[in-house]
Every structure is written in structure tokens, then in C-alpha cells.
Structure 1
């Protein structure tokens, strides 16, 4: 299969890097579209048996591109790209592993809820500042987070917007393993090799049974995206986003 520069295929494992144009750890609409295309092709290619989601060195992903949130002319393209990528994650049938080394913020954190296992380094942190920005969670995490973390922990994480250090994320179950003896990607590739040797159909079917109804996830994604889009029309939300954007510049 043809591989883009943000991805690498070997040993039946496709590693995808979450990055935007110019190698930034921020996802714009083109990054969402690219990830969707890669996942579509991985789904269809029998040679791909496992997918790894990774970030840039020292930083997993800092979230979405706020400049696109602030430009109404880009909203339609952005919403289409975001919802398409989240739906692809929800319906993906092959094992998906996350390896985090550094900050995982916003969508850089919510994509991890679609991974079967998440390996993280001790310096990793996790934060979902949607409510502070006047927005709502994405990627069906309003459904997945209470299931995974428990309601109270999910409420605290999303509504208080607290930053979780790696050890706290491990205790909550947001990550599956805290990797201290090597780097997270090495550990993820070791697991990927083990998974790639399993009978592919049985592995895929078992994964889908464990994950449950993808249609329910897609319905929740659509609801979240609708609320997210409505929030981008709110003047107070736009002021918050502009303030945060200036601080980040």
C-alpha cells in the first residue's frame, strides 16, 4: 500500500502520526481527512492487521486548530472532516494501539478512547478543556468516558478540565500501561507483533463484540458535532476561543 510521510508500515502494522500541516502537533481539517483516508485503506488491506496511533517526539497531540474554529468559512469543511474521522474510528474493526509521550490535549486525548490499549510514558499528561472553551466533548467520549472511567471521574475530567498526570490516568483506566523501561512506541510495536500473529478474523470479530454497537457511537458523534457546531456560533464562545488563541500564539 502507498504510505504517506505521516505513516509507516512494517510487520503488518501501520503507525499513524497525529500531526497537521508543517509537522505541527495540531490537527486541522486536512489532518482529519488524511487520517480518515489512511484508516479506510488500512481497513481494506489484509496486510494491515494492527494500527498504532502515535504523536510527534515529546508531544502526542495538542488538539484541534483553533484558527479553523474562528473562521466561519471553514466550519463546513472542518465539521465534515472531523465527523468523518470520528465515524471511521468508531467503525474500525482492527486492533488499534495508542502510544503517548508528552501532552495529549483535546482531540489528542479523546481519540485514545477508541484505542484498545494505550501505552504512555511517565511524562505524559492528559486534558480535555472543551467546557472551559464553551464547547462539548467529541469522538463519542460523552458516551465512552463514563463507561471507561466511571461517571464521577468522567465528570471531573471533562467538566473541571483538570490535567491528569500519567500515573493518575493509569489508575482511572484512561491508559492501560505506564511504560518506564522503554519508550511507549517500542512497547506498542511489541504488542502489535503479538496481535498480528493471531487469526485475523477471530481477532477482529472479538474486538467488535467487546466494543459493542458502532451505530450507537456514530449517533453520539453526530449529536456532539451538532452541539459543537452550534457552540461555534455563540459570541461568548468565540471570545473565549480568540483569547486562548492569542495566548497560544
Structure 2
């Protein structure tokens, strides 16, 4: 029987409709091993299959999010450690999930850990959070999306500075650049992330997934194509029972009771 120390990702349910996934390699500063990424992907698949799961919080725990990719795996396996089919498939699950993801960052958030946080739809940071892409200091470059996502988040020049110097930025600077939504007191990012997740989880998972898909398309599509995606998605929303329930609840002046149908 395995102990908690053998489990790379812990799961709990802090509120109705909310699942929290906590990275669980504190002795390795939550380095993103292939095992951890596989466990994250498995949890996301399970959450997608569960009726009633509407939002997921990703947390690293008290004082830590993730120090980045597992350098020991890279030392032993070279590029194959971070470029292999299983890892790519698992990472794709995290990139494409319809579930809203909220990252809680209460400490260092570096390299692959930072790239994981950027896959999320919101980031809540505590005052002691630190963000960075220090791969250049190891003689290589980010390999899980930072060269593409970071410029889209904070602009070319700020992204170039972070990636080419490898220097870290604090939570206040991250918020100024638009990388994080909110900054909390130390140790409070999990609480606030769950509060936001509860606000999200009040709504229909159908509408949430369609809204997330449309917003995400804005990063990849020309405006005309993005608007077409939005029109398609709202048309799909109008085919759901939850849209009819939401409309009825509005006119009847009562809370909607969504069933994710």
C-alpha cells in the first residue's frame, strides 16, 4: 500500500463543485516529474468525467508552488525527459481541459511550474510568490510553452527580459504586468483561490466550458475567426437545459439550479 509520500498529486474537495489538486513533492520543491504530470492529467480526466465538478484549483502548498521541471530526470535522460509522447499527451490534457483552472501560488513558481500556472485561467498569488523562467541559467530554454505564452500574457519586452535574464519577479510586479489576477497576504492564496472557484462553480459547467473555449481562442485566432467561435459557442449554449433554466430563473426571480445538462 502506497503512502502519501508516494503520491505526487493530492486531491480534496474544499467546496461544492470545486476540486483542489495539490502538488506533493515538497522535498523536491514540487519539481514537475513525468509522474507528477501524469497524475495531474489523470485527475483532470477524472474531474471532467464527474458530474458536478465545475472548477479546479491547482496548489503547491504552503510557501511553494513548483521550482520547475525535474532536473534529475533531465540529467539522467536528457531531452527525452521533457520531450516524450506520454508527457506531451498528459500536458495536452492540462492545456485543453474545458474545466476552469485557478492556480494558487504561495511561493516560488519557476520554469515548468510557471508554465503550468500559465495554463490556468486565473492565478492568485501571495505576497511571497516569485515567478521566473530561469532555464537560460542551465544552458537551455523553456520547453513547456513559456516562449509562446509569456509574451501573450505580459508582452514581448517583459517576456524577453524574464526569459533572457532568467531573473525572477515578485508578486507585485507580476500583477502589474497582468500575469496574476490578485495578490493576497502570505499563506492566503489558497483561501482566495477557493473563494474564486466557488464563485465560478455556481454556474453551469456547459456555459463555463463554452466561455473558456471562446476566450482561449482569442489567443490563437484572428478576430473574425474568434468572433465566429463565439457565435458558434453561444448557439451551442442555447441548446442546453441549463440555458433554459438560467433564463427561467431570471424571470422568476430565483436562484438558478443548474444540472450541467
Same fold (TM over 0.5): yes
Per-residue CA distance 1:173-220 (angstroms, 9 max, x = gap): 11110113870111111111111111221111011100118999xxxx
Three-state SS of the structure 2 residue aligned to 1:130 is: helix
**C-alpha distance in structure 2 between counterparts of 1:163 and 1:35, whole Å:** 26
3-state SS, counterpart of residue 180 of structure 2: coil
Specify which of 151, 163, 166 is matched with residue 146 of structure 1.
Answer: 151
Distance in 2 between residues matched to 1:86 and 1:215, nearest whole Å: 18
Equivalent-residue separation in structure 1 for 2:202 and 2:209 (angstroms): 13
Residues 20-73 of structure 1 deviation map (CA, whole Å, 9 limit, x = unaligned)? 396752221111111111111112222211010100211111112111101138
Distance 1:187 1:107, change over 3 A: same
Q: Which runs of 5+ in 1 are unaligned?
A: 217-249
Q: State the aligned residue count.
A: 214
Alpha-carbon distance, 1:159 to partner:
1.3
Task: Determine if contact 1:68/1:78 at 8 Å carries over to the other structure.
Answer: no
**Could you tell me how far apart the structure 1 residues matched to 2:26 and 2:79 are?**
16
Aligned partners of 1:49 and 1:200 also within 8 Å: yes
Local SS of the residue matching 2:65: coil
Paired position in structure 1 for 2:126 = 121
User: What is the aligned counterpart of 1:69 among 67, 74, 78?
Assistant: 74
Within the candidate set 24, 45, 48, 1:40 is matched to 45
SS in 2 for 1:60: strand
Whether the 8 Å CA contact 1:58–1:102 is kept in 2: the answer is yes
Counterpart of 2:116 in 1: which secondary structure? helix
Separation in structure 2 between the aligned mates of residue 213 and residue 87 of structure 1, nearest angstrom:
18
Say which SS state the counterpart of residue 124 (structure 2) adopts: strand
Asked if 1:132 is matched to 2:131, the reply is no
Structure 1 segments of 4 or more deviating over 4 A? Answer: 21-24, 213-216
Q: Does 1:186 align with 2:161?
A: no
Instruction: Output one character per residue of 1:95-146: Cα deviation in whole Å (capped at 9) or x when no partner.
Output: 1001111111111111111111111111111111122222222332222111
Show the counterpart of 1:100.
105
- Aligned counterparts of 1:132 and 1:23: Cα–Cα separation in 2: 19
Q: Which sections of structure 2, spanning at least 5 residues, go unmatched?
A: 1-6, 222-261
Paired position in structure 2 for 1:243: none
Q: Secondary structure at the match of 1:48?
A: coil
Contact 1:105-1:128 at 8 Å conserved across structures: yes
Whether 1:158 and 2:163 are equivalent positions in the alignment is yes
CA contact (8 A) 2:8 2:35 kept: no
Query: Which residue of the other structure, out of 3, 7, 11, is the alignment partner of 1:7?
Result: 11
**Offset of residue 79 of structure 1:** 2.8
Larger Rg: 2
Q: SS of the residue aligned with 1:52?
A: strand
- The secondary structure found in structure 2 opposite 1:123 is coil
